[in-house]
Amino acid sequence: MLEVDRHPNVEVMSYSEVKSVSGVIGDFTVMVEHKPRYIDDVKCNGCGNCSTVCPVYAPNEFDCNIGPRKAIYKPFAQAVPNIVTIDMDHCIKCRLCVKACELEAINFDQRPKVTELHIGTIIVATGFEEYKPYGIYGYGEYENVITQNEFERLLAPNGPTLGHLRRISDDKAPKHIAVLQCVGSRDRTKNLHCSGYCCMVGIKNAKLAKLHDPDTEITVCYMDIRAAGKDLEEYYTRSRKHKIKYLRGNVSEVAEDPETKNLILTVEDTLSNQIKTIEADLVILSAAMVPGEGTVDIANLLKLERSPDGFIKEFHSRLSPIDTKVPGIYLAGACQGPKSVAETVASAKGAAAAASGPLITRKYEMELIKAIVDDERCSSCTLCVLSCPYDAITMDESGIAKVNEVGCRGCGTCSSVCLSSAITLRYYRDGQLEAYIDALLAQDVVTEKVAAEEEAGG
């Protein structure tokens, strides 16, 4: 992030939100609202004196709400920019931070600001979030049932426990960990899709836990291990050498011992057709990957479609996996669907290449197969506007349909619903098609005549 922030051609607008987008490829107008930090970003040097004296604690979002933070805080150690932010939802305005700040960088009078940007192309990279399986296997009810993201924060050196693997309930090192795969995914009642990355994340974190304490027993309960990808099957095989146990079975119930806070798992072993009971100190849920926060808002702003799983829909899943239905807008990473790190990097590089092409050449080539409107025949029924999947048709002040030729993809939907045949596709108008048919039939007549003459002469 530091390298990106220091790049001369990159402007980072953190703590900001896109409010509106208009225009076409090469001429997008984007309105960005900068939220107030109540900090002068020029004066603040991120020393942290203000956070030290702040008496208010709030859940730390960066640590998945496991650990606390102050009401005036830096999101994380390597945050860009390296300054603090005041959380007004928790701030009590005691102004102790004002007294502690020697640089006089705190300003409670800040208000939101709006910047207008003129953009050539847009890349959407809203990322993903981990599905929160409340009510499943005791998550949200039992302290020692956590998700993989929360587990990673416990394992991280800059996490709430400084990298020491501890239980949430009593701060003791767990001796037996159970990992439950496919939580909230491949499920007709929750998320139909397979997130793809869960299997490998579960295996990776199990190996990390073994590095913390080789004597820790780890049992992975799974439906299928999907280790598709370069060296991933080998990685899964090597994990068995660390004495990580794999149990193919469905967990039907997780109960808590109220005295020890241990978890009792009832598992159906589908290989031996036996019901087994496992006692674990800590249960880790490998939850599904779902669209990131703001994906719905961004999709609505950019007039993009979303697939049934909630991710932004690409123009074509096989032939154009990076493009969207709006020319000039491209998708990078998990905003389009569940992706591993390697797939995300490949997608991001593809999106960067696609977005930079029109900017470098200053040209945008498009097919001329576009919808055209006969103004005299248009009856202002608006059926074409309602049916256009690319939002490329609008009604002008006189009630006549107008086609945005850049946005139109020539699908022909509007032509098929037009009751007065006022809107047609260029190169596919009735007169052209009739000429093609006449030419083909004429060719057949000539061919039959030549064949008859040859037969008579022979």
Among 308, 401, 329, 406, smallest CA distance to 366 is for 406
DSSP state of 198: H
Query: What range does the domain containing 196 cover?
Result: 130-289
Q: Rounded CA gap, 76 and 62, in Å?
A: 7
pLDDT of residue 52 exceeding 90, the answer is yes
Distances (CA, A) of 64 to 128, 129, 149, 350: 14, 11, 7, 31
Last residue of a domain, one of 289, 313, 345: 289
- 267 and 375 together in one domain: no
Indicate whether 379 and 284 sit together in one domain. Answer: no
> Cβ of 163: how many Cβ atoms within 10 Å?
13
Q: What is the pLDDT of residue 266?
A: 95
Do 158 and 284 belong to one domain? yes
Domain-located, residue 8: no
What pLDDT sits at residue 293? 85
pLDDT, position 456: 75
Using pLDDT thresholds of 50, 70 and 90, give the confidence band for residue 446.
low
- pLDDT tens by residue, 203-234: 999 999 999 899 999 999 999 999 988 899 99
Of the two residues 455 and 191, the one the predictor is more confident about is 191
Which distant-in-sequence residues (6+ apart) come within 8 Å of 424 by Cβ? 371, 372, 374, 415, 430
Across 250-259, average pLDDT:
93
Are residues 143 and 277 located together in one domain of the fold?
yes
Q: What pLDDT was estimated at residue 367?
A: 85
Q: What is the pLDDT confidence band of residue 436, given thresholds at 50, 70 and 90?
A: confident
Same domain, 390 and 262: no
Q: What is the CATH number of the domain that holds 397?
A: 3.30.70.20
271 part of a folded domain: yes
Strands (E), 138-243: 145-147, 176-183, 217-222
**Domain annotation covers residue 392:** yes
pTM, two decimals, is 0.87
How many domains does the structure of the chain reveal?
Answer: 2
Judgement on whether residues 154 and 272 belong to the same structural domain of the protein? yes
| In a domain? residue 245 | yes
Domain membership flag for residue 385: yes
Task: Give me the pLDDT at residue 444, please.
Answer: 66
